[in-house]
Amino acid sequence: MILYSTHTVPALHRHWRTLLLTLGAAQCAHATVYPLLTPDAEVVGQDQTVVTVYEDTLYDLARKYSLGSEEIIRVNPGVDPWLPGAGKTLVVPGRHILPPGPREGIVVNLPEHRLYYYPKQKRDGSREVITYPVSIGKMDWRTPLGLTHVIQKEKNPTWYPPESVRKEHAAAGDPLPAVVPAGPDNPLGAYAMRLAAGNGTYLIHGTNNPIAVGLAVTHGCVRMYPDDVAALFPLIPVGTPVRLINEPVKVAWVDGELLLEAHPPVDAQGQSVEPSIEQFAELMRAAVGDTTAAINWDYAREVLQKADGVIATVGLEADDPSLPPTPAASPADATPPDTAAPTAATPAAATPAAPAPAPDASVAAPPTATVN
């Protein structure tokens, strides 16, 4: 059941966010590795603020805090990305609702411009998630959706641009050779992981233009910051599943609060489009389920239309007014401590050891034309 509210939630959210950002300002959020403290954990990371120094740019800060350039620009409107100025307090969005679906291998959420990697469970039973910003395909070069897997890994890759890409560059007055060797001029960067999608024409790779990470600028590949792909590359065995999804709206229940995270949706042509209120309402109903909640729909629509990726509290669990209050237990119903029936201790089940990862050796393959 949903109880409509129009005042309480925004005030609570403003107070909560102010407190979070104040605390976050004194902490470091450079890490992109987050422990999953419970099997059903839904939110990782934290938002925070930073105070600029004179040499800062938003592009430098985005890379430092593992954000795409658009992520930090969207939440700091009116700030010059090249010359923000010294002593300016900026919001650094670092809190993420985990994408829906299986938590295995690599998940790339296109509207979010973000990659999530779920390593296998550790021997002690603990799990973690690693997340990085990425670039995706631009208009008419959409990154494909669906389930695929890594079929090859290559360090210092050579790029064989397909004819379609060479024609595009030639038309723009920037002709490409048939073969681009490894090195600083190679747009694939220093590491590449080939996907089965598109007969091997799509890659997850680095870049020689890190300022564009987080944008829809590629020919369908998934680009990463050079230092991010260098960290991820050795962790990914050949055969790792890769799921590419289009989830512009993510919702989660956490400690009685209904959280919403919205990003500009990506259409069939790879273009960002206006969020759909109908899609939001459907997701909200699914998230709420049978839980009685007080939801501020006006505020929720505002968050959706803003679509800046910052998590907002848009609802609270509430008591169902149609149900009678639960009666308190009477003293007569209580079992005296000295008459409680003994229970046998049940030993905890042993946690199975995680299987050894597949070797990181690259799969040999003939040269394949790839987009970037």
Convert the pLDDT of each residue in 44-56 to its tens digit.
999 999 999 999 9
The answer to whether the beta carbons of residues 204 and 193 sit under 8 Å apart is yes
Query: What is the pLDDT, as a whole number, of residue 334?
Result: 43
What pLDDT is stored for residue 217 in this prediction?
58
Flag the least confident range among 5-14, 105-114, 232-241. Answer: 5-14
Closest to 205 measured CA to CA, from 163, 246, 153: 153
Of residues 111 and 277, the one with the higher pLDDT is 111
Instruction: Name the band, by pLDDT with cuts 50, 70 and 90, for residue 142.
Output: low
**Between 260 and 317, residue with greater pLDDT:** 260
Contact between residue 81 and residue 57 where contact means Cβ atoms under 8 Å apart: yes
Nearest CA to 217 among 40, 372, 55, 78? 372
Domain spanning 2-245: CATH superfamily: L,D-transpeptidase catalytic domain-like (2.40.440.10)
The count of other CB atoms within 10 Å of the CB of residue 216 is: 22
Query: Which residues carry out catalysis?
Result: 205, 221
Neighbours of 239 (CB within 10 A): 13
| DSSP 8-state code for residue 290 | T
Q: Across-strand partners of 130?
A: 33, 117
More confident position, 193 or 305: 193
Give this prediction's pTM.
0.76
User: How sure is the predictor about 66, in pLDDT bands with cuts at 50, 70 and 90?
Assistant: very high
- Taking the C-alpha atoms of residue 178 and residue 181, their distance in angstroms, rounded to an integer, is 10
Among all chains, which residue has been given the structure tokens 């990782």?
Answer: 44
3-state secondary structure of 127: strand
pLDDT single digits (tens) 148-199 = 999 999 999 998 877 767 777 777 776 777 788 888 888 899 999 999 988 8
Residue type, 91: V
| CB half-sphere exposure, 65, CA atoms < 13 A | 31
Residue 47: the pLDDT is 94
Listed range (2-11, 173-182, 191-200, 259-268) with the worst mean pLDDT = 2-11
Q: Domain locations in the chain?
A: 2-245
Arithmetic mean of pLDDT over the chain: 77
